[in-house]
Amino acid sequence: MDARMDAFLEMLVVERGAARNTILSYSQDLTEFGAFAAARGQAVSAADADTCQAFMASLHARGLSARTAARRLSALRQFHLFLLREGARPDDPTSQLDAPKLPQTLPKLLSEQEVDALLDAARRRDGRSGALAQAALEILYATGMRVSELLALPREAFSRDRQAMIIKGKGNKERLVPLSTRAREAAIALQAATDVRSRYLFPGRDPRRPLTRQAFFLLLKQVALDAGIDPERVSPHVLRHAFASHMLARGADLRSLQMLLGHADISTVQIYTHVQTERLRRIVETHHPLARGGKMAEEE
């Protein structure tokens, strides 16, 4: 691997606190670009604007999705901005590249009744898996936190008198999240059901390590089946969306949601306004006399 690529990836870890999966993605993207540049006789850190443009065109020719191409472009831009800032090159060859146009997709949603069904199914499970499932679902739905944030929670994060906790999210940025009584009680019950030697609220088979994402995803799918919900519709991220959309439906404002979800930019949470707009449109189409071709439409 190119030494400057190594330095860039190290910067992501040290300065931005990037997660392991993020580092792996950037490494793969830049390695792919490096091979493309090498075929044109250029080093990855010395590639010119034509090579960057040709690389992006090659992604389109291969039929990669706009979202995948956008991720590759993001990796290229951040890498070359790093080189520019470090004085490793005098220009940014990606500055004139156009970002692929991404289709705006609405997040998958669960209704409040479906979330209630998931919580009820978790409460019916016995033993350690039941305590894990109930605590995880209660906390995810009460806080909207990411699954990585959930599984990294320390054992002492919850107590009977604690009303809020500080979560360390992406880029090691901290935010304050209020705790519901049910989430707090479910966490305390989980503490009693798991190994006291673990420093994690959600310990894995090895108490020295947290529960893995794979193990948690499998448990969540099992709870979804118990609740009579298609497992493909349920994930930690879907519960994060449910938290946000249900809060918005009950009167929360976008700025508050931005803070609770830990987004740096309010535009990231504006997708939920589209969710509500789509919901209102369906209500009008279902119930308005004109939309249904009812009596008012006939009289016209």
Distance (Å, rounded) from C-alpha 288 to C-alpha 23? Answer: 51
Q: How many CA atoms lie within 13 A of 260 on its CB side?
A: 23
Strand partners, 177: 165
Token code pair at residue 204? 């894995």
Q: Which pLDDT tens digit goes with each residue over 203-242?
A: 988 888 999 999 999 999 999 999 999 888 898 888 888 8
CATH 1.10.150.130 domain position(s) in the chain: 3-85
- Whose CA is closest to 51, among 15, 68, 76, 19? 76
- Whose CA is closest to 17, among 147, 174, 213? 174
Distance (Å, rounded) from C-alpha 175 to C-alpha 181? Answer: 19
CATH 1.10.443.10 domain position(s) in the chain: 112-282
C-alpha distances (whole Å) from 197 to each of 45, 84, 184 are: 47, 47, 20
Token code pair at residue 35? 């091979």
Distance (Å, rounded) from C-alpha 288 to C-alpha 59? Answer: 46
Angle (nearest 5°) at CA 256 between 253 and 262: 135
Distance (Å, rounded) from C-alpha 2 to C-alpha 45? Answer: 8
Q: What's the pLDDT at 298? A: 45
Residues noted as catalytic: 146, 170, 237, 240, 263, 272
Domain 3-85, CATH 1.10.630.10 — does that match? no
Q: What's the pLDDT at 40? A: 93
Residue with structure tokens 């310990």?
Answer: 203
Token code pair at residue 226? 């118990």
Distance (Å, rounded) from C-alpha 295 to C-alpha 280? Answer: 22
Residue 228 dihedral angles phi and psi, to the nearest 5°: 75, 25
Whether the Cβ atoms of residue 188 and residue 158 lie closer than 8 Å to each other: yes
- Whose CA is closest to 149, among 123, 175, 131, 129? 175
CATH class of 112-282: mainly alpha
Q: What's the pLDDT at 177? A: 81
Q: Please state whether the predicted TM-score (pTM) of the whole model is above 0.75.
A: no
Q: Which pLDDT tens digit goes with each residue over 174-211?
A: 788 888 889 889 999 998 888 778 889 999 888 889 99
Beta-carbon count within 10 A of 119 CB: 19
Q: What's the pLDDT at 42? A: 93
Distance (Å, rounded) from C-alpha 231 to C-alpha 235? Answer: 8
- pLDDT tens digits for the chain (300 residues)? 678 899 999 888 887 777 788 889 899 999 999 999 999 999 999 999 999 999 999 998 998 888 888 889 989 999 999 999 899 999 999 988 887 776 655 556 788 899 999 999 999 998 888 999 999 999 999 888 889 889 999 888 776 677 777 887 777 777 888 888 898 899 999 988 887 788 899 998 888 899 999 999 999 999 999 999 988 889 888 888 888 888 877 777 777 777 777 765 555 555 565 555 555 566 667 766 766 554 444 444
